[in-house]
Structure 1
């Protein structure tokens, strides 16, 4: 299930980096950068274990939302390994920040906010060394994402794993501000296909939700975020009838937010429909089924994930499957909507665009 396992058979430059970290002033923040399958998590596991064996208090911020080691996917997680460990999955998280999808595209705000908050939390909890594991998005918009992560966390050390020069656009602006060490990619690093990465996620989703229970939750008792679906005012019957007749829809629920409508609907008949997206947002009811949601506490951290099964819009009650207990759910003040649909068996059903909800 995990690509990265603890091994002491590493290139010599890793051992040199370890000496630098051991001798550096603490607390020390380290950000690891690299493309897909460059060995970032393997390096994280190696450094963390070696530092633990030297008596340092190590924190790991796992922000690789698509290939998470610390469960579950779709969140950024903070963990403090208590002893030697084989893979990140063994680490019990102390905090999560909800992103709600498996790709950082369209979610830069959540990625930067989550990493920043969790690094601060690690320092507050007296970590000697904070290791930040990142996603493999390092080209195009990924350059800007990494820039923002570096600016918000201000790492003392950046470890750059690159095959050629693919990280230079990220690194050059920061070489005068922080220490950058370029590392070779291990000959043991293996590229995984998209299907293999999806299979790995499937097993992780399945493991996270394996002991889940279904709850019926009164949405009026929570703040609802990550969606426009409950903003503004509820539409009246006359508006509902007009929309249904105009577009041949069944409208299950609708709101009007200033001068824009948001409706949950199902099509009657298969034919093209067009409307001005500046005044209308519509989502198919089926796209809400199996949608990942996050349960958020009063401090903005994610207590855990749930799978939305259905919403009774008349009573504003949601049926949600989650491994959280009733006691844990009692600490949630907010339900935040994600953008990936997943079944309890781990099968991913698809991603929604950021603006879909």
Structure 2
């Protein structure tokens, strides 16, 4: 850590994290639209950048971590005028405007949403923030589309409490387009039900390729926002603009990307996500659930009838005949469209190279899906925990499934004290102690 005092006479100073900035003397405006004065301290996390602008004397004490730094702009850094114009238009809009922000990674989407929210709050408005960036979330934990309500100015969206959430189960929308779209729409509906004056939607930086095009287009179609704000650095989202420009129910805003926006390295994104997960799970507990009392969703497992001993024996014989493996079956169930097995550690050999054994077993069993998973592959799977209305209560990771007793143990954190009725399986494995995470390589 390096401690340094910096004094400027007007202009701007950009501070990169990880660092802290304490105001010794003077006043300034941040690039997120908040005012800071003597004695206030701001935390700039790794991969983030804060810009402070003043027209008078400003003295700061900076504590700079590894890789942190600062630069002084004598001429000052202005908030783009079109950002201010959008905030004014939303404030003066009749009814409850809904504004979706679209842009690639590192284009300033979250900074824009924070700035506009602060501008609107200063006018006495109640602002709903839908955080749909499941990989770099601020309001809620990663893998969740979350809703927060802003009624006071904030330096950072991470200060906003999550009111509601929708479990996506992944840190990327890719492969989870339905969950991301449905979750975003549900959070917008809840924001409107909370009586907000304006709803702002912060989206992911996934903008290239077929799935990205489908995600953005169908989000617009499902939500029907009144405004769509594009942060188009070097024409990277011009294709999405062309897809929506003629829609009569939205107004398209082509906004400037500030020069001060910082490019964040992939390793810093991962570190940030690990920190957010680690902090979220600090208040975790062990939750014991009865599989007979909950619905399991977003997986094949838990959706069929357990097979009896006779059918399990027949399954074992069939698997051995096809794959040459005598399976150690811990759990077997059959649904109208699938047979699901949990085994000790033989899933790969049972399925066969390229899935050739699984194809033959599907044919012989007359099912569309033959799902085999090793017991250990279920450990650490991220799950969403919902009540009987399907509202998210919290998230956790699977610690143990005792199929004999029908007990599921989850290590997680609940944000609401209600009975868990639904367990939604994600496609991510998480260590709640460290925040480390990796995608699941099997389907369950």
User: 1:1-357 alignment to 2 at 5 Å?
Assistant: 1=45, 3=48, 10-140=79-209, 141-176=211-246, 177=248, 178-237=250-309, 238-239=313-314, 241-242=316-317, 245=320, 246-258=324-336, 260-267=338-345, 273=352, 274-277=356-359, 278-324=368-414, 328=417, 330-352=418-440, 356-357=443-444
Contact 1:59/1:78 (8 A) holds in 2: yes
What SS does the aligned partner of 1:25 have? Answer: coil
Q: Tell me: CA distance 1:312–1:243, structure 2 relative to 1, closer, same or farther (3 Å).
A: farther
- d(CA) in 2 for partners of 1:152, 1:339: 24
Contact 2:347/2:373 (8 A) holds in 1: no
Q: Tell me: CA distance 1:270–1:183, structure 2 relative to 1, closer, same or farther (3 Å).
A: closer
> RMSD value over aligned CA atoms?
2.2
Contact 2:188/2:199 (8 A) holds in 1: yes
Contact 2:388/2:420 (8 A) holds in 1: yes
What SS does the aligned partner of 1:135 have? Answer: coil
- d(CA) in 2 for partners of 1:48, 1:102: 25
CA offsets 1:119-154 (integer angstroms, 9 cap, x no match): 111112211110000011111110110000001111
- d(CA) in 2 for partners of 1:81, 1:240: 56
Aligned residue pair count? 354
Once the 2 structures are TM-superposed, how far is the Cα of residue 244 of structure 1 from its aligned partner?
6.5
What SS does the aligned partner of 2:377 have? Answer: helix
Q: Tell me: CA distance 1:259–1:17, structure 2 relative to 1, closer, same or farther (3 Å).
A: closer
What SS does the aligned partner of 1:220 have? Answer: coil
- d(CA) in 1 for partners of 2:302, 2:182: 24
What SS does the aligned partner of 1:68 have? Answer: coil
- d(CA) in 1 for partners of 2:432, 2:193: 35
- d(CA) in 2 for partners of 1:120, 1:188: 34
Normalising by structure 1, we get a TM-score of: 0.92
What SS does the aligned partner of 2:178 have? Answer: helix
- d(CA) in 2 for partners of 1:262, 1:4: 49
- d(CA) in 2 for partners of 1:350, 1:104: 15
Instruction: Answer 1 or 2: which has greater strand percent.
Output: 2
Contact 2:102/2:231 (8 A) holds in 1: yes
- d(CA) in 1 for partners of 2:193, 2:119: 23
CA offsets 1:177-211 (integer angstroms, 9 cap, x no match): 22111112111112222211110000000000001
Once the 2 structures are TM-superposed, how far is the Cα of residue 279 of structure 1 from its aligned partner?
4.6
What SS does the aligned partner of 1:112 have? Answer: helix
Q: Tell me: CA distance 1:337–1:86, structure 2 relative to 1, closer, same or farther (3 Å).
A: same
Unaligned runs of 5+ in 2: 1-44, 54-77, 360-367
Contact 1:72/1:204 (8 A) holds in 2: yes
Q: Tell me: CA distance 1:16–1:312, structure 2 relative to 1, closer, same or farther (3 Å).
A: same
- d(CA) in 2 for partners of 1:91, 1:331: 25
Q: Tell me: CA distance 1:26–1:5, structure 2 relative to 1, closer, same or farther (3 Å).
A: farther
Moved more, 231-240 or 173-182: 231-240
- d(CA) in 1 for partners of 2:346, 2:189: 51
Larger Rg: 2
Once the 2 structures are TM-superposed, how far is the Cα of residue 288 of structure 1 from its aligned partner?
0.8
